[in-house]
Structure 1
Amino acid sequence: MSGTFASGSVALITGASSGIGAATARHLAERGARVIGTGRNRDRLEGLAAELGDSGLMIELDVRDEADVTAALAGLPAPWRDIDILINNAGHDAGGWQVFQDLDRAASDDVIDTNVTGLIRMTSHIVPGMIARNRGHIVNIGSISSFSPYQKSAVYCASKFAVDGFTQSLRMDMADTLIRVTQIDPGVVLTGF
């Protein structure tokens, strides 16, 4: 992503408390972006805030909770409100690596609420500002399972297929704007996931 944004651009990263999100936050801050990191783990966010210094603003929020997201975004300091880059990274596979018939329904609902509904929720809050400014970049973190499903991950794979469909359609919706839409599909990554 280096070279695709102006120094001082504001990037909001969901799931920034660990793994891909935290690494992305560090990468963007090193290249001159101001990074809003969000996540559910306050201690990890505080650690990342200490690393990033003035380049980082950490907010504890849960992408599954509409009121939480609305309040957090409304409470952003003025210099941080115009978000140039949205990286929808929050996700998990609670209860994963089980055959579907053994999955706990609450855990599988939580995967959809985070990986799909939370991603759409964050995008719906950020896109209006991008459209008003006619600029921005939305990056959705998918997975190789977005197009190549595997055993014992039916709900997780379904969530990533949904991310892929949403991303492709959103890209079409943004075709007449200067807003870019990207999907990154990693394979297995050694993180706290």
Structure 2
Amino acid sequence: MEVEIAAEAKDKRFNRMVAITVVVLSIFMGLSQVKDGNIVQAMQQAQSSAVDSWGEYQATKTKQHIDETALAQIKALSLIGGGKAAQASAPEIARLTAEIAKYKAEIPQLRAQAKGFEDQYNALNVHDDQFDASDALISIAVSMSAVAALVEVAGALYGAWVFGAGGIIMGLAGFLGWSLHSDFMARLLS
């Protein structure tokens, strides 16, 4: 009778360790999912802004090219037409020259802005990968904990703790901005 009570107490202790493991990992994973969702939204905004900026960059380069072509044509026509044609085209030449100068000043700024949004996206993507790895490792740990509870094997629970610790470390890396990143896991989970 005492053996049964001792075995029952041991089972309760083991099941409590499994339950605590699952609760801690689930809470951490839930918090990580909220943060990861916010990161994904910021990534989408950065990507959208990059696309818009590159579009504006391309449009400005196109306008510059059109104005340069028009300026060359006007100058060629004014040479052919003589003095009166040159005088008549002078205001248009001045306008096109000013527009071209404006575009030349805008283009590097637009390129830098678009590149900045791309860099922001890439930086956020590192943290998104960290949360993805955290989610995967913690999911494995929770599954292993469930198996440990069913088969009552301590080794399975210890394995769950190893995977759970890895998941928590990756999640903390995402929360705290650490540069911890696994290219292998990122490629695997992409």
TM-score (norm 1): 0.23
More strand by share: 1
Larger radius of gyration: 2
Q: Which has the higher contact order (CA 8 A, sep 6+)?
A: 2
